[in-house]
Amino acid sequence: MLFRRRRSDADQEYLIRVERLKSEILQSRTGAGNARLDQLQQEVDGLHGGHPKAGDLLIVQKVEAELCLFKPLTLLYPTSLRLQARLYRFESERQRAWQADLKRLIPNNETINHEADLRQRLRQLTYEINEAAEAYNRLSRQKSSVVRALNCCGIGIIIVCLILEILAISRLPPGPSSFRDWLFTAMPAGALGAAVTAIGAIRDESARREEFLLTLVAQMVVRIMLGVVYALAILAALFSQILPIKVSVEPDAQFALVLVLAIAAGFSDKFFGQTVSHLITKSSSSEDKADKGKAAPDKATGAQS
């Protein structure tokens, strides 16, 4: 129902747009018939109603542009205002140039300078605005397609990681586990954390275009592989006591600790690097202080002897 309502709104807007064109064609007829207006009228009459096709939209855009050459003077100012409201599609310099030109040709609703030039400018501007809008829509569709593909890829990887994690957990031996027992449990956990982070970072990716899809997928896979490496590194640091964290002998507590650290290691390169560096530096500083503390009594003993 929601999608039907949105489609209906878009169709209503199209139908109103077509009716406006019919009205403008009618107002453009002054006494004697005009062959060009008759042709535009035929093109408008041939449009599909209700659900326009791509060709129908092109015809509407064409008629809008060509009508600028035939509209009565009273419609040129409203047309100028309508087009200026759509100048946001242009870059700032191009937008300012068009605004200045239109201001020169039609400064207000009562003054028109160089009517022939104004009509040609409005006709050209209509085409350029429609071209810019289509380029924007095409890029938006490409970005949406890339994001959708990356999300599907990431969700698939997450599902695989979860299955591997469940299989690895089911094969853990009863009782306290060793470093080797936790290898195959930490690897999918690190990949899981990296996959979640990679999916969350898609919205910040600026190169979301179809030609970069394979590169973005490769980047996601590399980040997930790095997550596996980080998880193994954090596991090795844990069991080698480089990280000053006590590992419980309780299987559930041990499992929870390793799982949290492995997923956290895969979550972020920055988080992993800063945390491990800080803990290693802290551990090294503690050992240096301990060594200095031991050396001080030895020197005192030597001095007394």
Tens of pLDDT, residue by residue over 104-146, are: 999 888 888 899 999 999 999 999 999 988 888 888 888 888 8
Burial 62-74 (b: 16+ CB within 10 A, else e): ebbbbbbebbeee
- Please tell me whether residues 261 and 167 are part of one structural domain: yes
pLDDT tens per residue across span 202-255: 766 555 666 677 877 888 888 888 888 888 888 888 777 777 777 666 667 777
Query: Do residues 190 and 287 share a domain?
Result: yes
Residue 286, C-beta contacts closer than 8 angstroms, at least 6 positions apart: 244
Q: Are residues 157 and 284 in the same domain?
A: yes
Whether residues 285 and 157 share a domain: the answer is: yes
Examine the pLDDT at 7 and tell me if it is beyond 50.
no
The half-sphere exposure of 196 on its side-chain side, counting CA atoms within 13 A, is 13
Same domain, 147 and 287: yes
Which domain-ending residue is among 71, 106, 133?
A: 71
Backbone angles phi, psi at 247, to 5 degrees: -90, 120
Nearest C-alpha neighbor of 71 from the set 34, 110, 17: 34
> Are residues 57 and 182 located together in one domain of the fold?
no
- pLDDT at residue number 1: 42
Asked if residue 301 belongs to a domain, the reply is no
Number of domains in the chain: 2
Whether 103 maps to a domain, the answer reads no
Angle of helix 213-239 relative to helix 269-304, nearest 10 degrees, comes to 30
Domain that holds residue 227: 141-291
164 plus 286 within the same structural domain: yes
Is the domain of 152 the same as that of 47?
no
As a whole-number percent, the residues of the chain with pLDDT over 90 amount to 11
Question: Is residue 11 assigned to a domain?
Answer: yes
Which of 56, 71, 86 is the endpoint of a domain? 71
Structure tokens at 191: 């990949």
pTM here is: 0.61
Length of the chain: 305
Q: Mean pLDDT in the chain?
A: 77
Are residue 58 and residue 150 in the same domain, yes or no? no
Amino acid at 194: A
Any idea of the CA torsion for 276, 226, 271, 277, to the nearest 10 degrees?
Answer: 20
From CA 140, how far away is CA 158, in angstroms rounded? 27
Q: What is the pLDDT of residue 170?
A: 79
**153 found inside a domain:** yes
271 located within any domain: yes
Residue 298 lies in a domain: no
- Tokens for 153? 């890829």
108, part of any domain: no
Are residues 178 and 62 part of one domain? Answer: no
Cα 139 to Cα 54, 76, 143, 153, 209: the distances in Å are 17, 32, 6, 21, 7
Provide the H-helix boundaries in the chain. 2-28, 35-45, 54-66, 73-84, 92-105, 115-170, 179-200, 213-239, 251-267, 269-304
In a domain, 216, yes or no: yes
Q: For residues 26 and 145, state if they share a domain.
A: no
- 67 and 147 within one domain: no
Query: Amino acid letter at 35?
Result: A
